[in-house]
Amino acid sequence: MPRSSLGRLGPFILAAGVSAVLACSRDASSGHASNAPPPVPIPDGGVAAPPELDGYVQKLVERCESITDDTTTEASLHEARAAHDRGETDIALSTKGCVRLFVGKSGGVETFSAVMSAPFGMRIDPTTFEVKRTAAMITWSTGANGTREVRGDLDADGFAELQESVVPNVSLVAERVEPSGGVIERTTAKVGADGLRVEITEESEEDGKLAVSAKYDGARVSRKCTSDPPPGSEPPPSTPPKPAPPFPPPPHEVPCTSEQLRQLESLLEKATAGGADCMQATGMQDIRFRMLRQVATTSFDFKCTDDDSFVAANDGGYGNVFVGRALIWINPILFTAGEAEQTATLYHELMHFFFVHDHDIEALADGTPSLGYADRVYACEQLCFAKKPNTCHLAACKKKKICEVDKYGFEQKLGKEIDSCWSGHQVGALCRKGPGERQWCTTKTECDAACGGQECESKSISCDENCR
């Protein structure tokens, strides 16, 4: 089950990654220090939020602040997609209409959109001292040159802690910032020369300074291979297929039947409704909003293939870097598991709008339970759709350590119990010595030895320093 290779970057969300063979940025550079990407300021360019947004938010909060039983469902998402298709600009995403999509157009073209929901809060206007109500919100604005600015205030305190700038087909820089201006996390994705590869650098704060936490290649096309274990099954298949190449040739297309297309649209809504609730329960509200917007506003292009090397693939949606691409491939011959598994697979593909796989990890950890803990997409898929996920999946999905996640909080929010995980915290470590010299090791110590103490990345989610 090589899940193969290519992922996409998500906006800052991106997580896990994978690196494609080529990627190895470390191979290409001799020194980390000099290789560290310069801080990229995100210009406040793009299109400003339309003035009517403020009044819209005030009214929404007033109407919705006492509503506690609102939820997004397959039916509410189906209706939202139809409303967007009809050209509507004020769209309910949930049953009570308190999760909403606001669309701004200029000359008939969509230049602005916002997804918002509870929690609600307030801020004081610094010039008028007026108290304004706020909602958790992400906004997307597109400038005339196609660049896109994304801002997110997920805790409704009036400050956009999420800032992202996308130059289509070129780059994406996503940051989490503090009101003081400090940057806590940054993900940078650069499109490679062949347009298929993305180089991803993830930085997080350590001792008050940003340090590179991962650097890898991902691919524009993410394929999910055939032998994915059914959700709920922990043991890997005994004979994993060979890892797929990171940049495979386009698959052979066969026509999808209209019944298959209808079914895929329905699975998409099911995967989004379940996935959005799950993301909210993990606290990854940003992913929830991005997923809701992606599905509400996108006309998906489904294609079928008889290529038996993969079951499903997302071609090109990553992080809005590849504009206008929402192509999902399905192999109907392999896509035959029960509806629960199919929904999980669709959710996996949807996650590729936000995260890419690190190809090295995908290829090397494949066939071991470690993959579900070392790769964010697989971890979230298991967490949200497996029958028996565990706290390790929760940690890996959030890209946190096991002691940093709130198992009970997650269970309470989602109304589903997950197992504790008593083993598997170590996950493994990857030595990226050189292209073709990658090695997946059981522990950091083993990895350091294999790697000569260099270029060894531990994927441990243990909080015990002795378990790396």
| 69 alpha carbon, distance to own chain's centre | 26
Is 345 one of the binding residues for Zn ion (CB under 5 A)? no
The answer to whether the beta carbons of residues 323 and 14 sit under 8 Å apart is no
Least separation in angstroms between CB 290 and Zn ion: 17
Least separation in angstroms between CB 222 and Zn ion: 4
Is 222 one of the binding residues for Zn ion (CB under 5 A)? yes
d(CA 304, CA 253) in angstroms, rounded, equals 6
Looking at 224, 293, 433, 444, which residue binds Zn ion (CB under 5 A)?
224
Instruction: Give the interface segment with Zn ion, choosing from 152-160, 215-223, 250-258, 380-388 (CB under 5 A).
Output: 215-223
Instruction: Give the interface segment with Zn ion, choosing from 217-225, 272-280, 291-299, 364-372 (CB under 5 A).
Output: 217-225
Alpha carbons within 13 angstroms on the beta-carbon side of residue 468 total 11
Interacting residues with Zn ion between 252 and 281 (CB under 5 A): none
Q: Output 222 or 368, the one with its CB closest to Zn ion.
A: 222
d(CA 339, CA 268) in angstroms, rounded, equals 11
Least separation in angstroms between CB 352 and Zn ion: 6
Least separation in angstroms between CB 440 and Zn ion: 18
Question: What does each C-alpha distance from 250 to 197, 227, 243, 246, 310 come to in angstroms?
Answer: 14, 20, 16, 12, 12
Q: Output 222 or 294, the one with its CB closest to Zn ion.
A: 222
| 358 alpha carbon, distance to own chain's centre | 13
How many residues bind to Zn ion according to rule CB under 5 A?
2
Instruction: Select from 273, 369, 337 the least CA-distant residue to 75.
Output: 273
d(CA 224, CA 435) in angstroms, rounded, equals 23
Q: Output 286 or 358, the one with its CB closest to Zn ion.
A: 358
Interacting residues with Zn ion between 70 and 129 (CB under 5 A): none
- Strand ranges for 107-155 from DSSP E: 109-124, 131-142, 148-153
Least separation in angstroms between CB 347 and Zn ion: 11
Q: Output 185 or 228, the one with its CB closest to Zn ion.
A: 228
Cα dihedral 148, 154, 156, 162 in deg (nearest 10): -40
Is 26 one of the binding residues for Zn ion (CB under 5 A)? no
Least separation in angstroms between CB 277 and Zn ion: 21
Tokens matching residue 141: 């604005």
The answer to whether the beta carbons of residues 201 and 215 sit under 8 Å apart is yes
Least separation in angstroms between CB 106 and Zn ion: 35
Instruction: Give the interface segment with Zn ion, choosing from 63-71, 223-231, 233-241, 256-264 (CB under 5 A).
Output: 223-231
Instruction: Give the interface segment with Zn ion, choosing from 54-62, 216-224, 411-419, 431-439 (CB under 5 A).
Output: 216-224
What residue ranges bind Zn ion (CB under 5 A)? 222, 224
